[in-house]
Amino acid sequence: MTWLVGDRRGSVLPTPQSLLRSVYAGRLCVAGAIYLAAALKFAVAAPLDLLVTSFVLVAAVVVTIASYWYTHLSRRTPGRTFLYGQALFDVALITTVVHITGGPQSDLTPLYVPLIAVTAVLMPPASTGLITALVGIVYFADVFFGHTTPMTAQVGLQLLVFAAVAAVTAYFASRVSVMGAEREALAGELRQARLEAADVLRSVPTGIVTVDQAGHLLYCNPAAEQILGFKERQWRGRPIMPEFAKIAPEFWAAITATARRGVRAMRVEATVRRADRTFPIGVTTTTLDVEPAGEPRVTAIFTDISDSKRLEELHLRAERLEAVAELSSSLAHEIKNPLASIRSSVEQLGRAKRVNADEKFLTSLVVRETDRLSRLLSEFLDFSRVRATECRPLDLRTVAAAAIRLVREHPDCPEDAVIDLTGDATPMEGDEDLLHRVVSNLVLNAVQATGKGARVVVRTADRLSRLLSEFLDFSRVRATECRPLDLRTVAAAAIRLVREHPDCPEDAVIDLTGDATPMEGDEDLLHRVVSNLVLNAVQATGKGARVVVRTGRPAAHELPGGAGIETPVSLAVSDNGPGIPENLRARLFEPFVTGRVGGTGLGLAIVQRAVDAHRGLVLVDSTPGQGTTFTVYFPAARRKEEAA
């Protein structure tokens, strides 16, 4: 009987529990009234009638208490057997009462009508027909056999009333049940749709806020609470616009403009200023007319765009570095060719026989300045095409000696200049031509800046060797051999190397966490990335350094939106150092930018180029006095066109 199991809220029919409660009350009232009537007329009542009414009262009380405990205290759903038992007991009770009070002449015969009606509501039509037939049979038997009364029109009419009540009640109850079931199904679908919409709004990472014309908060999803830093339960139904004005003035202005003028804001950028951090958000506002004559509501949809901003800065930084080299090359080529023609023409004019002393002086001045400009352009070209093409073992001191001999022959080197070379042999691997250019440029700059009486000391040592090695590393970063490897294993090897470095404090603690992280990459470049980041961390922290290196697969929300890295893996290096100064953060990955005394400023530039070679992404989070975290994201596998 499904109509007894379902929820009857909103239905026209009362619930089975409420109907049974009425049946219980009516049953006790009838039994009590009959007993009181017999007791008050004790002098004229037959002893058998008094005994029967007493038994009826006791039976009614016992059955009613047991039934109430079953349906209401135990909260059990009344089944068909239970309802049949209730109906049979009530038929017996009413028949007894009717028999005692006169049978066909009894004024209590209509009590059968509510019994049949309740049965028609609680039970299906077939069961209602059975109970109605039983009522008719029992009543007929009582009339003819209990009181030996002949069949009369009154008795026939009474039986027809029983049948009519049963038929009409059963029909309307079935129709109402069908309508109630349809209504419940529609209400269930509506509730499901609302629940699904609520689940979607609760789960999306985009903040959604709705306010009315007076600025009272009507709705706020969890993402909005997290972004703006307030709790919905504290502000629901209260004016929240002053709080918005304090947290994000541009956000407040967008909502206010939409509420007052109906102007919808599209992708407006606002800044959220919270106690813990400040970050940008993108805001879109719209209006919602709930009722035709009512005031519209304003809904703001917004999201944290700090990750997008960081990606944009990373792209701009890479483009800026590339543009410098391209601009240097193009300008040098465009200027150097006509400059050579100018020099040649002026030099020929200066050799003419009719040229006087002043003209010769001017032509020599032009030639000298064009030579200087030509050297400058050559240096621009060298800058744009620096590549370590042939690296081999060599002695840096021998290269420096050859470069010093070349500088001594340079016309800008004063005759009294003293250039001393000190230091022991310094073996290293590098491109001899590039190293020769490095030393010669440095020494020539020194003698040119000093002038007469110049004294220059060139000293080769491990630090200089490291500087040049890092410069060569920076210039030749290429992912040449990509193969399957475990990033955690590479990180472990790099950490062992850093622990042996002379700049690593003895009390430094370097922990490696995370699971095996398979990926495809150049092992040498990845080793440089980890070693440079870890070494920077221990150098920046100093004594008491604690560095945590973590590898693994990032969660979906960790990777900035729009990064475009498929199946990413991550490497995070965190330290407990002093943090990165604000004036260095914008230029942190540029060559020769360092905040450490004696630093080369090339370590992070190498990291940036190595990550770019793997089509990855490197992000920095630093809090003054609390430490710094470098997070690098790599694609786990190369693209098909790269692997081909």
| pLDDT per position as a tens digit, 417-476 | 899 988 888 888 777 887 888 888 888 888 888 888 889 988 876 544 554 455 545 444
| Average confidence score pLDDT of the chain | 77
Residue-wise pLDDT tens digits, 53-87? 788 788 888 888 888 888 888 888 888 888 888 88
Q: Is the pLDDT reported for residue 6 higher than 70? A: no
pLDDT of res. 572: 93
Burial tier of 430 (Cβ tally within 10 Å: 0-12, 13-18, 19+): buried
Q: Is the pLDDT reported for residue 161 higher than 60? A: yes
pLDDT of res. 5: 35
Among 42-46, 511-515, 538-542, whose mean pLDDT is lowest? 42-46
pLDDT of res. 629: 92
- Rounded to whole angstroms, the Cα distance separating 186 from 190 reads 6
Q: Quick one: CA dihedral 138, 139, 142, 148, positive or negative?
A: negative
Among 194-208, 431-445, 479-493, whose mean pLDDT is lowest? 194-208
Contacts of 61 by beta carbon, 8 Å cutoff, 6+ apart: 28, 31
Q: Is the pLDDT reported for residue 534 higher than 70? A: yes
- Rounded to whole angstroms, the Cα distance separating 642 from 488 reads 24
Start-end of H helices in 460-503: 462-475, 487-499
pLDDT of res. 473: 52
Q: What is the average pLDDT across 27-50? A: 69
pLDDT of res. 642: 52
pLDDT of res. 415: 86
Among 32-36, 342-346, 470-474, whose mean pLDDT is lowest? 470-474
Residue-wise pLDDT tens digits, 100-144? 777 777 777 777 778 777 777 787 777 777 877 787 777 777 777
CA-CA distances (angstroms) from residue 464 to 423, 461, 471?
A: 11, 5, 10
Q: Rounded to 5 degrees, what angle do the CA atoms 202, 207, 208 make?
A: 80
19 contacts 67 by C-beta, under 8 angstroms: no
* Nearest residue to 37 via CA among 102, 81, 127: 102
Task: Determine what percent of the chain is predicted with pLDDT higher than 90.
Answer: 6
Secondary structure element (H or E) that encloses residue 422, with its range: strand 418-422
Decide which of 157 and 529 is more confident.
Answer: 529
